[in-house]
Amino acid sequence: MPRDKFPWELHNFFKKGSRVVVLTGAGVSAESGMPTFRGEDGLWRNYRAEELATPEAFTRDPKLVWEWYDMRRKIIHGCKPNPGHETIVKMEVYFEDFQLITQNVDGLHRRAGSKNVIELHGNLWRVRCVEEGKIFDFMEVPLKAVPPLCDCGSLIRPDVVWFGEAMPIEPLEAAFTAAEGCDVMVVVGTSGIVQPAALIPILAKQNGAYLVEVNLEPTPFTGLADCSVLGKAGEVLPELWNLIKDQ
Ligand code: NAD
């Protein structure tokens, strides 16, 4: 195992009693077969995600937006959690104080077995009635009717945060509190350009946390990180786990 990838002091921070936060983005699900938004395969029928995942797009053409979500839900349905997700579950079991924060809406962390998860941007297996505001799980895949309707006959929308929408305050506050109080933060597979999620590693660092980053390429967090490893989450996280559990 290439231990020289990680700085020697790393094991000092990953004690069983350490307060550990993992923040993930789309990159952690890439090896499961789920395209990131900014990767090469981020385009669908010549639309960018930013043109579809918006309240305006839904008002204009709910069928088009649901067709896109139906496609994404079908992909996720056929995906399995990868060793990156699985390692995060092991970390949750190992550390006495552990919090996972994800920007992903695919539900793969929960499917892998993560329990203590803050889903900052919602979950696309949950929907919200646009009239009644009622929120419920909606697992139908593929969709029988597009767009799908609530029992009351109104449109339902995915219970996710769209571009241009404010994030629900509760998960955000919980994430900020976890970031401010942690000893170590591991940031995995996020480009660091979606706000306010991008503030989370900065808050952790400002409050004295040791910051580890895992990504295929440098990001705005790389200069801030105490340890930055370029590589695939599904490979680097198991290596990190081997270091943690062997100490
Ligand atoms: P992003 O698409 O902006 O960036 C993905 C990052 O992951 C990049 O920095 C890339 O270099 C890195 N990456 C790609 N493959 C990787 C791998 N195998 N291992 C490690 N790193 C890898 O994603 P983001 O920062 O999460 O922000 C995009 C927004 O899009 C989020 O709000 C999220 O809700 C949403 N989104 C979610 C999903 C999902 O749920 N799976 C997928 C696409 C987008």
List residues bridging with 211 in a β-sheet.
185
Q: Is 77 a catalytic residue?
A: no
Q: Is the CB of 194 under 6 A from ligand 1?
A: yes
Q: Is the CB of 104 under 6 A from ligand 1?
A: yes
Exposed e or buried b per residue across 45-56, where buried means at least 16 C-beta atoms within 10 angstroms of its C-beta: eeeebeebbbee
CA of 122 to the centre of ligand 1 (A): 15
Instruction: Give the pLDDT of residue 70.
Output: 96
Check for a shared fold between 3-33+81-121+168-245 and 40-78+128-160. Answer: no
What is the C-alpha separation between 49 and 26, in angstroms, rounded? Answer: 13
Residue minimizing CA distance to atom 3 of ligand 1: 191
Instruction: Give the pLDDT of residue 40.
Output: 63
| CATH fold for domain 3-33+81-121+168-245 | Rossmann fold (3.40.50)
Q: What is the mean pLDDT of each run of 10 residues along the chain (247 residues)?
A: 72 93 97 82 78 95 96 95 98 97 97 97 97 97 97 97 93 98 98 92 98 96 96 97 87
Main-chain dihedrals φ then ψ at residue 64, nearest 5 degrees: -60, -45
Q: Is the CB of 232 under 6 A from ligand 1?
A: yes
Q: Is the CB of 200 under 6 A from ligand 1?
A: no
Each domain of the chain, given as residue ranges in start order, spans 3-33+81-121+168-245, 40-78+128-160
- The crossing angle, in degrees rounded to 10, of helices 83-94 and 233-246 is 30
CATH number for the domain formed by residue range(s) 40-78+128-160 = 3.30.1600.10
Provide the CA 199 distance to its chain's centre, in angstroms: 15
Amino acid letter, residue 167: M
Secondary structure class of 166 (helix, strand, coil): coil
CA of 38 to the centre of ligand 1 (A): 7
Secondary structure class of 24 (helix, strand, coil): strand
